[in-house]
């Protein structure tokens, strides 16, 4: 209570104190209850301020929402490589063409280059090698790097080569015993001359002999014997009139060679004519591949002893031993012979000529050698050979070959002879760890997409599907370069067996001999890994059946096909589809019903027929849609490559945030994917080889893109358009 009384006293005291007037007080009049004028102004200003602030907040929110909506999509890649790629796409594409009816022209319509996309990339890689070889650097005296740079420099020194004239070449001819064309000839034993040509000069006038990995055990070498490569482009079914014109041009060329070497014009004409006769007879000895296949005699394994009995004019053991030193050969050494009947007939011809026209046989071999050595001779010999090739291309209705600059020839020769050194330097320059890591991640994404995709193929039963998935899982990959070239330091290859100078021809021949010995030695050394078939700067990927490994050289993993800074759509569309295509070759045998007994035959046959009809709906420049089972397999691989690469790209979008696009190109990421796929195929129709197993470039684009509904969806193609058919196949 005491507390309550105190509260009442406090309330009384508060009521007696000067009171604060309140608006709701009943004692105040209406006028007294109004706020003063300043208070009303402040209240109005406050309301205006609050409204303005609210409006500003709403406006800012709207701007932020618009900005967010505009930027929630992919941003533009602003790296220089992306701008360069954009420029390439704009330079090659023709945006006036409807992509739904002619996507090839939409992407490649302005391509005026004489080469295709792969050739353009190969030339760019050679330019990269040129920059390396022409860069100023200090190398350890006698090192492989120094010799490679010296060889390239001497190749480019045309003034010294021209000043040497025919002297170095005449010296070579004298070492071989000379020839009657010049009046000085020492009749050496035929097999002695042949042995020198094969082992010291890398020239094989009557047959080719080289080492190859064994078909089954790839780490075991086998000596392969093939018919020779002829300078004249003869065909078995060619018209006699065309043959006569070809031989006329070739005779003119051989006469030029003899005259350049100071021969008597009458003797030159006589010896050149008989040389052509020898070439013609050798060519007729060759049997068409179809005939060999029908007889089951394409490649036959024989021993040196057995071949000696069947083709006795050649001292096989002596010639092969000299060529493949330091291999130790014996009469029981097995050989793989391609076209044994040719070798038998060739031997009879040689025996005949040794008895009746040994001097003409000598001239035939030397004239062939001059052609082989032409890259190392002066401009007169090179011009004569270039004119011959251009004329022969005209006669065989092939497009003319563009003139190649001197530096490109020198880069190629240096790369051939000093590949280990240049490989290491190229990889250091063009295939760093970031590029290697990005390429490997791309491959793994493609590989995983293929394994997943195999589950949805209707023509595979469970047993076949499991085998196929295991095969992909066990597949090995080699990326960029062989292991030795990926080391931090350039390979310390000394090349002690190469002696440069005093003339470029002598340097060239020293490199020929060293390369041959190095090749043989590499086959004799233990080689646990896959032996590469291409240089690291090459642009050709491949699948090795014996080693079950796919190879993607560093030269392929370059702009405009690949770069770590590109939008993922570019890399998946270009190199990703190339990777998927090589993987699809693992299953070539499954696509032929007779080779896949565990497949569902009815479902597979239905899809095969569907694909054939699908491709037949397009007009092909050569009017050939399949051209046998090989072209069919290539068409199926093209479809599979795009399907797998597209699936891998779509899966990458789900796993990774932040896709980009090319700047100022108005293409979505998915459209860029298809654009990059087609860009790889860009080429002029005239560059298509009619005998090539691939379909023409437009068909290689239209066939696959029309096989997926995603293309039509992202380019808004109307139903029934050429590239948006009513139904699609599911071979892949």
Helix (H) or strand (E) holding 175: helix 167-175
Residue 180 CA to residue 177 CA, distance in Å, equals 10
Q: How many CB atoms lie within 10 A of CB 18?
A: 5
Contact status, residue 685 vs residue 667, Cβ threshold 8 Å? no
Residue 499 CA to residue 51 CA, distance in Å, equals 91
The token pair at 441 is 């991640």
Contact status, residue 316 vs residue 307, Cβ threshold 8 Å? yes
DSSP string for 354-386: HHH-HHHHHHHHHHHHHHHHGGGS-HHHHHHHH
Angle at 477 between CA 471 and CA 482, to 5 degrees: 150
Residue 648 CA to residue 633 CA, distance in Å, equals 22
Q: Which residues contact 86 (CB under 8 A, 6 or more apart)?
A: 662, 663, 664, 665
Largest CA distance in the chain: 153
476-480/549-553 β-pairing: parallel
Closest by CA position to 541, among listed 595, 479, 602? 479
| Catalytically annotated residue among 339, 413, 582, 607 | 582
Residue 612 CA to residue 471 CA, distance in Å, equals 27
DSSP string for 646-677: HHHHHHHHHH----EE-TTS---HHHHHHHHH
Contact status, residue 208 vs residue 257, Cβ threshold 8 Å? no
| Catalytically annotated residue among 102, 145, 638, 659 | 638
For the question of residue 123 being annotated catalytic, the response is no
Q: State the Cα torsion 102-106-111-117 to the nearest 10°.
A: -90
The token pair at 47 is 């309301």
Exposed, middle or buried: residue 380 (CB in 10 Å: 0-12, 13-18, 19+)?
Answer: middle
Residue 525 CA to residue 513 CA, distance in Å, equals 19
For the question of residue 638 being annotated catalytic, the response is yes
Angle at 39 between CA 33 and CA 42, to 5 degrees: 150
DSSP string for 92-120: H--TTS-TTT-HHHHHHTT---SS-HHHH
Residue 530 CA to residue 142 CA, distance in Å, equals 30
* Torsion sign across C-alpha atoms 705, 710, 716, 718: positive
Could you list the active site residues? 582, 638
């Amino acid at each position: 209570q005491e507390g309550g009384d105190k509260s009442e006293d406090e309330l009384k005291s508060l009521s007696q104190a000067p009171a604060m007037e309140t608006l709701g007080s009943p004692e105040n009049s209406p006028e007294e209850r109004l706020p003063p004028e300043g208070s009303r102004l402040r209240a109005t200003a406050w309301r205006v301020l609050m409204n303005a602030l609210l409006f500003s907040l709403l406006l800012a929110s709207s701007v932020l929402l618009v900005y967010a909506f505009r930027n929630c999509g992919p941003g533009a890649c602003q790296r220089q490589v992306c701008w360069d790629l954009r420029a390439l796409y704009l330079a090659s594409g023709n945006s006036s063409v409807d992509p739904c009816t002619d996507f090839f022209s939409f992407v490649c319509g302005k391509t005026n280059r004489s080469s295709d996309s792969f050739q353009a990339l190969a030339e760019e890689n050679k330019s990269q090698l040129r920059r390396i070889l022409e860069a100023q650097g200090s190398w350890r005296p006698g090192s492989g790097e120094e010799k490679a740079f010296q060889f390239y420099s001497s190749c480019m020194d045309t003034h010294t080569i021209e000043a040497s004239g025919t002297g170095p070449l005449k010296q070579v001819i004298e070492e071989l015993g000379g020839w009657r064309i010049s009046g000085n000839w020492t009749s050496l034993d035929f097999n002695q001359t042949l042995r020198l040509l094969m082992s010291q000069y890398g020239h094989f006038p009557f047959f080719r002999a080289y080492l190859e990995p064994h078909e089954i055990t790839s780490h075991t070498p086998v000596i392969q014997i093939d018919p020779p490569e002829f300078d004249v482009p003869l065909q078995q079914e060619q018209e006699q009139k065309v043959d006569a014109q070809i031989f006329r041009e070739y005779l003119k060329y051989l006469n030029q060679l003899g005259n350049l070497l100071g021969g008597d014009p009458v003797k030159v004409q006589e010896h050149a004519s008989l040389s052509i006769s020898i070439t013609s007879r050798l060519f007729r000895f060759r049997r068409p591949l179809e005939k060999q296949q029908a007889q089951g005699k394409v490649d036959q394994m024989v021993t040196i002893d057995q071949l000696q009995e069947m083709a006795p004019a050649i001292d096989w053991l002596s010639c092969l031993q000299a060529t493949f030193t330091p291999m130790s050969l014996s009469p029981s050494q097995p050989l793989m012979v391609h076209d044994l009947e040719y070798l038998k007939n060739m031997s009879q011809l040689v025996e005949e000529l040794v008895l009746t026209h040994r001097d003409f046989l000598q001239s035939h071999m030397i004239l062939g050698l001059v052609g082989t050595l032409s890259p190392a001779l002066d401009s007169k010999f090179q011009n004569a050979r270039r004119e011959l090739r251009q004329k022969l291309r005209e006669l065989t209705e092939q497009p003319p070959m563009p003139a190649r600059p001197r530096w490109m020839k020198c880069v190629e020769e240096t790369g051939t002879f000093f590949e280990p050194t240049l490989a290491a330097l190229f990889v250091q320059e063009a295939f760093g760890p970031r590029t290697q890591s990005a390429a490997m991640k791309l491959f793994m994404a493609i590989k995983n997409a293929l394994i997943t995709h195999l589950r949805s193929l209707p023509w595979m039963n469970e047993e076949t599907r499991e085998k196929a998935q295991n095969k992909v899982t066990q597949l090995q990959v080699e990326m960029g370069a062989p292991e030795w070239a990926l080391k931090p330091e350039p390979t310390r290859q000394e090349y002690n067996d190469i002696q440069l100078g005093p003339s470029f021809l002598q340097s060239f021949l020293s490199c020929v001999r060293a390369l041959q010995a190095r090749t043989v030695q590499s086959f004799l050394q233990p080689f646990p890994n896959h032996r590469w078939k291409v240089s690291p700067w090459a642009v050709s990927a491949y699948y090795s059946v014996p080693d079950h490994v796919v190879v993607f050289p560093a030269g392929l993993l370059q702009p405009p096909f690949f770069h770590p800074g590109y939008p993922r759509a570019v890399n998946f569309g270009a190199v990703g589809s190339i990777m998927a295509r090589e993987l699809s070759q693992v299953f070539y045998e499954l696509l032929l019903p007779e080779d896949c007994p565990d497949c569902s035959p009815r479902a597979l046959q239905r899809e095969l027929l569907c694909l054939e009809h699908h491709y037949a709906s397009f007009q092909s420049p050569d009017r050939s849609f399949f051209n046998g089972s090989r072209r069919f397999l290539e068409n199926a691989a093209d479809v599979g490559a795009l399907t797998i690469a597209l699936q891998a790209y779509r899966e990458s979008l789900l796993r990774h945030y932040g896709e980009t696009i090319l700047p100022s190109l108005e293409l979505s990421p998915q459209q860029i994917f298809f654009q990059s796929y087609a860009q790889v195929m860009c080429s002029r129709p005239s560059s298509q080889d009619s005998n090539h197993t691939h379909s023409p470039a437009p068909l290689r684009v239209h066939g696959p893109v029309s096989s997926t509904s995603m293309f039509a969806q992202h380019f808004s193609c109307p139903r029934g358009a050429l590239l948006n058919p009513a139904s699609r196949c599911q071979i892949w």
